[in-house]
Amino acid sequence: MKPSIFLNKLKQAMILLGVDLLLVAILSVVLILAIIFLPNSSIRVIIGVPFVLFFSGYTLTCVLFPRKRDLDGVERLALSIGLSLAVVPLIGLALNYTPFGIRLYPILFSLFLFSLSMSILSAYRRRKLPAEERFAPHLSFKMPRFEWRLISRVDKLLSVGLIASILAAGVTVVYVATTPKVGERFTEFYVLGPEGKAENYPTNLTLGESGTVILGVVNHEYEDVTYRILVRLDNETIATIEGIRLAHGEKWEQSFTFTPQKTGENMKLEFLLYREGLEEPYRTLHLWITVRPREQA
C-alpha cells in the first residue's frame, strides 16, 4: 500500500472514530499481537493494564455521554475506570457459561470486541451531533490552581477513595498478569479403541488373537512428572511401559497391543498408571474381556 493511500485511510478512520477511539483500537490490536507473538514482552503489562482497567469503560462512557458538556475530564476518567471494573467481571461471568471458559484468549478477544463495538456505536452517536458539541479529548499542559484546604471533606474522602481504588486495581491486574495461576493439579489418563475413539474396544477375542488399544496420559501437574504404566490381565502382569516423562500440559499417546495367553470370560484387563515417587497406582483403568478357544470362534 502506498504511503499516501495509507494516510488517507488513517485520516478517514480518525474522522469516523475520532483520535481517542482510534487510539484505543490500535493499542488493543498491538496488545493482541504482543500476546500472540511476544508472550514474554513487557508490552503485555504496559498496554494490558489500561486495556482491562480503562478501554472498555471509556468506550462505553463515550456511548453514554457523547457531548463534551455531559461530563468534565475527571468525571469521565473516574466513570471510565468504574465502568471497566464493572464490565470486565460481567464478561468473565458470561464466558464462564460458554464452552470457551475464562481463559486468556476468550477474555482478550471478548474485551476487544466489546471495546470495538462500543467505539463504533460511539462514533455513530458523535456524528449525529453538531461538531462543536461532540466530545473530543485534548491534552493540556497547563496546571490548574489546586488548593487541598479549599476542598470539602466529602470531596477529599471521595478523591482519596478513588485514587486508592485505582491503585489497588492496577496492582491487582499487574499481579494477575505477571503471576501464573495454578489451578487444580491432576493427571489425565485414558484408554481408547483402535480408531482413537471411546468405542470398539477389543473385548471379545479368540485365543492367540491380538487386541489393540490406545493409551494416553496428559500432565496437568504444573511440573515435570515421570510416569510408568503397568498392564495386568486377570491379575497377571503382561507388560510395563517405562520412562514416560511429561512437562506440564504435555500429552503422551501410544498404541498398545496385547495377546492373551489363556481363555476366560470377563477377565479384567487393568492399566495402572504410576507416578514417580509413589508406590501405589496414581490412576487406574480397566476393560472386561472375553477370550474364547479357537474351536468356539
| pLDDT tens per residue across span 148-164 | 566 677 766 776 776 77
User: Would strands 225-233 and 236-246 be described as parallel, antiparallel, or unpaired?
Assistant: antiparallel
Can you give the pLDDT at residue 219? 94
Closest CA to 53 of 27, 22, 17, 16: 27
Query: What's the pLDDT at 296?
Result: 47
pLDDT at 112 (0 to 100)? 94
Nearest to 57 by CA among 92, 88, 19, 33: 88
Write down the pLDDT at residue 127.
86
Q: What pLDDT is stored for residue 187 in this prediction?
A: 94
Contact by Cβ (8 Å): 265, 239: no
**Spans of the chain below 70 pLDDT:** 1-17, 138-151, 155-156, 159, 162, 166, 169-183, 296-297
Sign of CA dihedral 152, 156, 157, 162: positive
Closest CA to 261 of 297, 282, 220, 289: 289
Could you tell me the end-to-end alpha-carbon distance of the chain, in angstroms, rounded to an integer? 73
CA distance 292 to 263: 5
SS3 assignment for 126-186:
HHCCCHHHECCCCCCCCCCCCCHHHCCHHHHHHHHHHHHHHHHHHHHHHHHHHCCCCCCCE
Q: Are 235 and 262 in contact (CB under 8 A)?
A: no
- The pLDDT, as a whole number, for residue 297 is 44
Strand spans (E) along the chain: 186-192, 204-206, 211-220, 225-233, 236-246, 251-258, 264-275, 283-292
The pLDDT assigned to 174 comes to 58
- pLDDT, position 48: 87
pLDDT at 55: 92
Dihedral of alpha carbons 183, 189, 193, 195, sign: positive
Q: What is the pLDDT of residue 16?
A: 53
Confirm whether pTM is higher than 0.75.
no
Q: Residues 135, 61: contact at Cβ < 8 Å?
A: no
For residues 272 and 287, give the distance between their C-alpha atoms in angstroms, rounded to a whole number: 12
Instruction: Please give the C-alpha separations between residue 55 and each of 12, 41, 63, 133, 259, in angstroms, as whole numbers.
Output: 22, 20, 13, 22, 63
Predicted local distance difference test score (pLDDT) of residue 173: 58
CA-wise closest residue to 58 among 79, 37, 28, 34: 79
Domain ranges of the chain: 3-178, 186-296
Residue 149, all three cell numbers:
484546604
DSSP 51: I
Q: Which three cell numbers stand for residue 218?
A: 496428559
CA–CA separation, 48 vs 173, rounded Å? 8
Phi, psi of 269 (to 5 degrees): -100, 110
Task: Give domain 186-296's CATH architecture.
Answer: Sandwich (2.60)
